[in-house]
Amino acid sequence: MDKTKRLANGIEMPRLGLGVWRVEETDATNSVKWAIENGYHLIDTAAIYKNETGVGKGIAQSGIKRENLFVTTKLWNADQGYETAHQAFNDSLERLGLDYVDLYLIHWPVEGKFNDSWRAMEEIYASGRAKAIGVSNFHQHHIEELMTTAKIKPMVDQIELHPTLTQENLREYLAKEGIAVEAWSPLGQGKILQNPTLTEIGKKHKKSAAQVIIRWHLQSDIIVIPKSVHEERIKENFDVFDFELSEDEMKQIDHLNINERLGADPDNFNF
Ligand code: NAD
């Protein structure tokens, strides 16, 4: 399996990375360092996580060459709009201590604002300070609305996606549009790791339920960013390239879908 996915603009994005939502600054520094030491190249943060400074320190301390790393951050809702998006992006870069990010995402589809935010993001992309731009939590209709004014199609849509929320329709639409799918809360925030289907499949391959889920994402052509602050788990979550789920096992996991959201519905959020 390729460890990277080619985005619509030709940029190679690692298929497996580290997420750092609800991670304190100091933990973020350590987690990022451990992840990089264990082979990760993709780090997913956001302005609202309030740990971009810690992430930046982890990157600096790891000693990895910048070009070997893929850093994503996101534009928070309160900063949406044309000028505010430009400012928020500059602030993120400064906190990260970087002169570019690899991917900049609109965090949520704030109605009446995301088209203007996108105009700023297109300029940021043109300036080379974001190597790719995309969206997060966008349903099909949000993307269609964005495209009424956009010059550039988003390269990625980062959405809630795990075995109990498989998002088949949206994935089909994104595939047709050439927009890469990235899963947030890919492990169901740890709440589905006791599921017997997953643990049984894991036993057969001598892998944990977390590793089985991560492998299911990868084999489904989904970019995946599990979060952990523990070195052993960070390592475990990357140790998924030496086994393969059978077609039957893939189907068994697909069938765990119950359309259950752990986070807000992008059509109904109040933050
Ligand atoms: P996740 O599904 O990655 O689950 C993380 C939790 O699973 C951990 O806190 C831990 O309890 C458990 N866990 C992780 N590895 C484990 C292992 N090997 N064994 C046992 N337990 C393990 O949850 P998440 O943090 O919500 O999502 C991942 C990332 O997605 C976030 O950190 C963030 O970067 C991104 N995200 C984005 C959005 C968005 O709106 N775009 C929203 C939520 C999360």
Residue type at 168 in one-letter notation: E
CA 227, 25, 102: angle at the middle one, nearest 5? 65
DSSP three-state, residue 73: strand
Q: Is the minimum distance from the CB of 235 to ligand 1 under 6 angstroms? A: no
pLDDT, tens only, 133-161: 999 999 999 999 999 999 999 999 999 99
Residue 176: phi and psi, rounded to 5, are: -65, -35
pLDDT, tens only, 65-81: 999 999 999 999 999 99
In the 3-class helix/strand/coil scheme, how is 227-245 assigned residue by residue? ECCCHHHHHHHHCCCCCCC
Residue 124: phi and psi, rounded to 5, are: -60, -45
238: in domain: no
Average pLDDT over residues 117-129: 98
Work out whether strand 12-14 and strand 4-6 pair parallel, antiparallel, or are unpaired.
antiparallel
CATH code where residue 184 lies:
3.20.20.100
Q: How many domains does the chain have?
A: 1
Mutate to test the pocket of ligand 1, among 21, 34, 137, 240 (most ligand atoms within 8 A of CB): 21
Residue 94's domain comprises 4-191+220-230
Are the beta carbons of 114 and 134 closer than 8 angstroms? no
pLDDT, tens only, 194-251: 999 999 999 999 999 999 999 999 999 999 999 999 999 999 999 999 999 999 999 9
pLDDT, tens only, 196-206: 999 999 999 99
185: in domain: yes
181: in domain: yes
pLDDT, tens only, 88-107: 999 999 999 999 999 999 99
pLDDT class of 1 with cuts at 50, 70, 90? confident
Four-residue CA torsion sign, 48, 12, 98, 101: negative
Q: Tell me what pLDDT residue 195 has.
A: 98
pTM of the model: 0.98
178: in domain: yes
Mutate to test the pocket of ligand 1, among 162, 181, 189 (most ligand atoms within 8 A of CB): 189
205: in domain: no
59: in domain: yes
What does the alpha-carbon distance between residue 39 and residue 56 come to, in Å, rounded to a whole number?
17
For residue 4, what are the β-bridge partners?
14
213: in domain: no
Q: Which two tokens stand for residue 73?
A: 């951050």
pLDDT, tens only, 9-57: 999 999 999 999 999 999 999 999 999 999 999 999 999 999 999 999 9
